[in-house]
Amino acid sequence: MENDVNNEFPFTGDEQYDKVVKTFYIIRGISFTILFLLNVFQTYFEFRSLYRKGRKPTPRFFTFVSITLFPLCRGIQSFLALGFHNSRTGSSSWYFGIWGTLFLSTEWIFIGCFWVRLLYTFFSSKKIALDNIKKTWYSAWGIVVILFAWNTILMILISQYDSQYVASISGKGFICMVALLGTFLIINGFFLIKNLKKQDKKSKTFQKTIKRTIRLSSILIFIVLGLIVREIVVAISKISTSSNYRYAAIFVTFILEFPQCIVVMIALADDGTHWKNYFLLQKVAKDSNSSGGSLNDNNSNNKNSNANLEIDLSSFNVDNDSSSVSKSKSQILKSENPSRQNSQNPVIVTQSNVSISLSTNSEQPLRQSQPLDENQQVIDIKDNNNNNNNNNNNNNNNNNNNIINNNQ
């Protein structure tokens, strides 16, 4: 049987099945509405923090925006389908559905932007390629623009062609997008994990970072494979836009989408306990200038620790009017804990903003007070064997923990 909006039982043509579909839409709508309400406060907190510090939006902020708009669209989609008894291609419910899918995509695009930014800025070579920060940022927005254009094309097509044809075009385009973008993000995610595992393994915070990235990569694999299989089954079965079998596809989509929201929300929360602040309507992410996490545990502060060069990426902003990566005047590159001697790899831990610790052999505090010029796009990691123990002893009494805050 097929649904008929003018029928007594408009969803399926059967009274019992209609009750099941209505119950599903109610549960789906309420579930996503709750996620929207929990995330809208966090988006506000993140915006307020960036605004007060005069910083430009980060991948972390736009991940919050996306994970707020995605459940909003899904909730509205469910309630419209329930109210108008119609969720077929071209219905008002369908319009919110395609925009919900877009914001689900942008959510993972900005998570991937953060992964790729770390990977190609700090691990692609022995140099820190600051110019890659700008490139990954622009690339992410380029993909977002393409997705917005694709949705616009679909809305134009639905006004010119029948719903079955548009559904076919939409399904094929969706498979291509999920396959290409998903594969790219998964590969880079696991490359990032591989490089992170090569770093200092003593820090509990660092281990949490690795586990967090593994969880996100794993759930991304689950989503990509699930959505591709779903679309292939629908295409092979030639399910019409009014067939009752499409409710099974909608249910599978809900099973894929809802858990990933929970995983991403937990990943966006600092440490392992701040996720509770979602329900307390408090900030789950620490202020971007806070020392919320540490690279080394307290017991790892020994005399044989190597120097660390701390770079705060949050001060390196993308300048739309310049080909360079701008640097705040107050940025200081400094080395701490100078007695460790053997590592030259970047050491990274994710928290609420971006700062990077680079292990060097430097034993003297390095300060850079001049802004980077247009040609100074790369900082070379070199050994500096100067000995200045008096200054270093003062540094050791301050803070031996170097931090990178996650700007997802």
In tens, the pLDDT along 74-110 reads 999 999 999 998 888 888 999 999 999 999 999 999 9
Task: Establish if 220 belongs to a structural domain.
Answer: yes
Task: Establish if 2 belongs to a structural domain.
Answer: no
Burial (CB < 10 A; 0-12, 13-18, 19+), residue 159, is: exposed
Please give the structure tokens belonging to residue 30.
């309420």
Instruction: Please tell me whether residues 218 and 332 are part of one structural domain.
Output: no
Instruction: Please tell me whether residues 265 and 312 are part of one structural domain.
Output: no
Strands laid side by side in the 306-311 sheet: 334-339, 306-311, 356-359, 346-347
Instruction: Please tell me whether residues 225 and 318 are part of one structural domain.
Output: no
Residues 186, 220: contact at Cβ < 8 Å? yes
* pLDDT (0 to 100) of residue 226: 82
For 161-175, the pLDDT digits (tens) are 888 888 888 888 888
Task: Establish if 285 belongs to a structural domain.
Answer: no
Task: Establish if 68 belongs to a structural domain.
Answer: yes
Instruction: Please tell me whether residues 131 and 53 are part of one structural domain.
Output: yes
Q: How far apart are CA 277 and CA 261, in angstroms?
A: 16
Final residue before a domain boundary, out of 218, 249, 280: 280
* pLDDT (0 to 100) of residue 166: 87
Task: Establish if 75 belongs to a structural domain.
Answer: yes
Task: Establish if 98 belongs to a structural domain.
Answer: yes
Q: Of 4 and 140, which is predicted with more confidence?
A: 140
- C-alpha dist (Å) from residue 82 to 7, 10, 172, 212, 255: 14, 10, 27, 37, 19
Q: What range defines the domain where residue 337 resides?
A: 298-396
Instruction: Please tell me whether residues 118 and 255 are part of one structural domain.
Output: yes
Q: How far apart are CA 129 and CA 5, in angstroms?
A: 58
Task: Establish if 3 belongs to a structural domain.
Answer: no
Task: Establish if 321 belongs to a structural domain.
Answer: yes
Closest C-alpha among 242, 139, 237, 132 to residue 185: 139
Final residue before a domain boundary, out of 253, 280, 307: 280
Amino acid letter at 328?
S
For 364-406, the pLDDT digits (tens) are 343 433 444 444 444 444 444 444 444 444 444 444 444 344 4
Task: Report the CATH number at residue 163.
Answer: 1.20.1070.10
What pTM, to 2 d.p., does this model score? 0.70
Instruction: Please tell me whether residues 384 and 260 are part of one structural domain.
Output: no
Q: Of 312 and 284, which is predicted with more confidence?
A: 284
Instruction: Please tell me whether residues 258 and 329 are part of one structural domain.
Output: no
For 205-260, the pLDDT digits (tens) are 666 767 777 778 788 888 878 877 887 777 777 777 777 888 888 999 999 899 99
Instruction: Please tell me whether residues 119 and 29 are part of one structural domain.
Output: yes
Instruction: Please tell me whether residues 28 and 92 are part of one structural domain.
Output: yes
* pLDDT (0 to 100) of residue 71: 96
Tokens 């200092």 identify what position? Answer: 200
* pLDDT (0 to 100) of residue 306: 39
Instruction: Please tell me whether residues 166 and 76 are part of one structural domain.
Output: yes
Does 47 have pLDDT greater than 90? yes
Instruction: Please tell me whether residues 271 and 328 are part of one structural domain.
Output: no
Q: How far apart are CA 295 and CA 24, in angstroms?
A: 45
Q: How far apart are CA 138 and CA 223, in angstroms?
A: 25
Residues 241, 163: contact at Cβ < 8 Å? yes
Instruction: Please tell me whether residues 302 and 208 are part of one structural domain.
Output: no
What band does 307 get if pLDDT is binned at 50, 70 and 90?
A: very low
Q: How many domains does the chain have?
A: 2
For 252-305, the pLDDT digits (tens) are 999 989 999 998 898 888 765 678 888 988 888 775 443 333 323 333 344 343
For 142-158, the pLDDT digits (tens) are 999 999 999 999 999 98
Please give the structure tokens belonging to residue 218.
């794993």
Neighbours of 54 (CB within 10 A): 8
